[in-house]
Structures are given as C-alpha cells and as structure tokens.
Amino acid sequence: MAVTAVIALVAGLGLSRLITSPAEAAANAAPPTAGPITVPVERRVLATDVVLRGDAVYEDPASITLETGDLGGPAVVTGQVPEVGATLNAGDLVLELAGRPVILLPGDLPVYRTLRAGVSGPDVVQLKAALVALGIDPGDPSSPAYDAATAAGVAALYARAGYPAPSAGEEAELALAGARDATRAADDQVASAERALTAAKAGPGQVDLVTKDNQIRVAQRALADAQELVGQVDPDTGRPMVTASEIANLTDQVTAASVDRDALLAPADTSEERAALTAAQRARTEAGTDLTTAQRNVLTPLPSSEIVYLTSIPRRVDSVEVHRGSTVAGTAVMSVSGAALQIAGSVVASDADLIAVGTVVAIALPGGDEVPGTVVSIGAPVEGADADAAAEKADANRTRVIVVPAELTEPQRAELQGANVRMTIRVSATDGEVLAVPTAALTAGPGGEARVEVLADDGTSTLVTVETGLAADGFVEVTSTAAALAEGDRVVVGVTGSTTEDEPEDEPTSADSDAP
C-alpha cells in the first residue's frame, strides 16, 4: 500500500506538469512587455546614385549613295573598299570608282551637280567651308562663286588624297590652245598697226627733205640761167635765146618743187593707220576674252561622282554593300553611323534634376566588366532609337539621358554595341565618413527640428536635437547641436510588441480614400 501510494503521488505530480489551465495558456500567449529597438550610430560614407538602363547605339545612321551620271561609263568599284568598323574622317576615301576617288567631306547639302569655274550657289559655299576645315585655302569662303582659288583648293584636296586632279577635258584644252594662238596673232597685228601709225606721224625723213630742197634749187638755177638770156638772139639762127614760154615753164617748175616740199612738211593724214590700229586692238580684246573663258574652262572641276557630303564626321562603317568589281547602280554602297558610341536611357524628372552634363557614369557591360562614361546631354533626342525608346521619350514624366563611354577596347565595343546595359550615376556623396543613423531613428520636435532618442546603458533615454545632411540607402547624415552624439551610441528606431487581434484597425477617412 505504501509503494502504491508513492507511485500515485509521483504520477499525480507528473500529470500536473503536463496539464495547462486555460488561464495559464492565455497568459503564456500574451505579447511581451513593449521595449525600445535600438541600433548603433555608425560612421560611414553616404552616396546617392541614380540607376537606369539604356541602349547602346551609334548615333545618326545614314546610307551613302553615289552620283554616277557624269562618269560616262560603267560605275565599277575598283578599290579602296573600307572594312566594317572602319572610321571615315573628312578627306578620306569612301571608295575608288572607275579608278577615281570618292572623297568624304563634311556638309548638309547632298551632291547634285558638278562644280566648275563660273558656277555659284550654296553648294560652293559648303565646299569652301569643308576645304577650310581641312586646312586648305579655297579663296573667299563667303563668296558663292567657284573661281580660280577654289579650283586650286580642289586640286590640293586631290593631291592630299593621292590622286591627280580632275581634268576639264580634251576639248577644253584644245580651245585654250586655239585661244592662245589667236591672242598672239592679235598682238602681232596691233604691233604692226602701231608701227605704221608711228611712221605716219613721224613726218618726212632727212633724205626726202634734202631731195626736195635740191629739186627747188635746180629749178631756181635753171630759171635764173634762162632769165639771163632774155633778150639775146642766137647768132646762128637769129632767134631769141630764151622765149617767154620757156621762162614761164621754168617758173612753174620752181613753184612745183616748192609746193612738193611744203606738202612733205605738212602734218601727215594718219586716219587710215589709226583705223587699222583700232581694228587690231578690237580683235586683240576679243581674243583676250576668249582666252580668259578658255582658261576658266580648264580650271580644276569637282565632278559630282567624286564627292560625298555627310554631317557629323567622323563616321563609322556599319555595313558595306559593294566589293571590288561590283557595279554601282544608284543603290546605297554602305551604311555608316556616328563614330561615337552612345547609350540612351531615361529617368524620372525628379532624378533628372539631380544629374548634370559631365557627370561620371559607371556602365556595367553585359559580360560583367564595368567601364566609365560621361553624361553628354539631358533631354536631347537620340537618332536611331527604336520605337520603344521613342515611346518612352514621349512620356512626359521621363527625361532622356545620353551617356558616352570612355575609351573602349574593340572587344568591349563589340560587346556593348546594341546591348541594353545598367548605368549608375553618382549624383551626391559625403566628403568622407560621417555619423549616420537610419532614417527611422529621426523624429520631429515641437518646432519641427530633427531629433534622435539616445538610450543609455542604464535604460534611460535622452532626446538629442540633430542637423541632418545627405540621405542615402536608408541612412541619413546627422550632426548633434546640443548634446554630444558619438559613434556606437544606441538610438531608438522603434518599439517591440504588437497589437492584439481584438484591437480595432483604424478606419480610413474620406481624405485617405483618394490616396494611392
């Protein structure tokens, strides 16, 4: 009986420990007494980043077509075909067509005619501007006329490219040779007419004057001799030695000799010589005009088939549609884009306000590497963007951001082209490590000042007024203004415990119903 009693007592005690009353169960399920949740004050570097994604594209894509109308034969590609990925700069060769170069120049106007001496227009002004950009003198860059200086500049362009300058053609050369011959003949005619006029204006020579004087003296002596014989009779014949008629004839001879001499001394009539000189001079003027025209016609032209204008040079070759030996027939020979690879993304307007042109960007490549970049524009459109990007741009709440990567290796460039990548833009950061607390530790004082509650080791707490700085990643920079705040101090961020199931939830007010 004693043993049975002991066993019953032990069993009762064991069962009493296993059985829990409802009151005890409710007491065990009640929440613990509420208490503060604290975290230490940290010293860390705070930074604010804007993260976005963007598509890597080459800007301003374009197709190159060539004007082949003035070739006069098949437009066969004979060489200088660039490789995909090659960079074309101003003055470089796009292709060699029918043995002649096709030179790339900067400009907006397309090629629509051959430029030669005598033409003028905005395309001439564009050509001169392109030559100036290459350091070649084209004459007056503001003049729309294609003149000798422009032709000399074009010849210098071809010399730089390593090709002979274009010729005006055999017909123009023959016309120039004929004009030169005609000019020389006209010069000879003028010289001959001038000599004749000079001789006519010079008067008689000394020989002529002496001859005339001698003729007068001979006539006078004959008259004087005859006058001495007047009244004498020839003894043989009984006739007068000199008759009155003979005296009259001799007198007339003296008069005639004097008249001849006076006529020789009179001013010469040079009207015929002057007319001949005028005609010769007119012929020489016409010959000079023809020579000027012929010389202008042989000045170096710029054939429309040997030039291509593109904006935003340099350019990158994206694809080539021709090869050596193929014929160009009005279709595009290659596709090019801007040589600079750019990444186009977008951010919300509030983030865009934090970004400035020139800000450094960290670009994550698809392979995992990271390369630097620079923000080059904010809010500008992107050439070549796809429809989705265009639609995104149309969103008034987002702003376009264009980033240009720093110098890339060829593998990195190939990896980046056409990819959608992640970019991180650091917009603000503290200058080194600062005291920081979680934003949940901040409370507002009665005057709107920021405060943190510091919990001491003995369980007492103190409200410390602080000035806040940069906030990032859930932390905010703080500086105490009254009491000292140091690294490691415990600040309250919340209180442990929860509401019971029978506590009613707050009902939304009418003002809250419209809140998102």
pLDDT of residue 162: 93
For the chain, give the percent of residues with pLDDT over 90: 19
Q: In 3-state terms, what secondary structure has residue 215?
A: helix
- Residue 391 is which amino acid? A
Give tens-digit pLDDT for 76-134. 999 899 998 888 999 999 999 989 999 999 999 999 898 988 899 999 999 999 999 99
| Residue with more model confidence, 339 or 44 | 44
Distance CA 257, CA 273 (A): 27
Domains in the chain, ordered, with CATH?
A: 36-44+432-495 (2.40.420.20), 50-58+340-428 (2.40.30.170), 66-168+299-331 (no CATH)
Distance CA 69, CA 97 (A): 12
Q: Is the pLDDT of residue 241 over 90?
A: no
Q: Which range among 5-19, 159-173, 346-360 shows the weakest confidence by mean pLDDT?
A: 5-19
Highest mean pLDDT among 164-168, 207-211, 412-416: 164-168
Q: Is the pLDDT of residue 514 over 50?
A: no
Distance CA 210, CA 216 (A): 10
Give tens-digit pLDDT for 478-510. 888 666 788 888 889 888 764 444 444 443 333
Distance CA 466, CA 463 (A): 10
| Residue with more model confidence, 166 or 511 | 166
The average confidence (pLDDT) of the chain is: 82
Three-state SS annotation for 278-345: HHHHHHHHHHHHHHHHHHHHCCCCECHHHEEEECCCCEEEEEECCCCCCECCCCCCEEEEECCEEEEE
Which whole number is the average pLDDT over 206-220? Answer: 85
pLDDT of residue 48: 81
Cβ–Cβ contacts within 10 Å for residue 322, how many?
A: 19
Q: Is the pLDDT of residue 25 over 80?
A: no
488: exposed, middle or buried (Cβ count in 10 Å: 0-12, 13-18, 19+): exposed
Q: Are 46 and 430 in contact (CB under 8 A)?
A: yes
Distance CA 169, CA 167 (A): 5
H or E stretch at 197: helix 170-202
Q: Is the pLDDT of residue 163 over 50?
A: yes
Is the whole model's pTM more than 0.75, yes or no?
A: no
Give tens-digit pLDDT for 373-412. 999 888 865 444 444 444 444 455 788 888 889 888 878 8
Distance CA 400, CA 122 (A): 35
DSSP string, 128-185: HHHHHHTT---S-TT--B--HHHHHHHHHHHHHHTSPPPP--HHHHHHHHHHHHHHHH
pLDDT of residue 130: 94
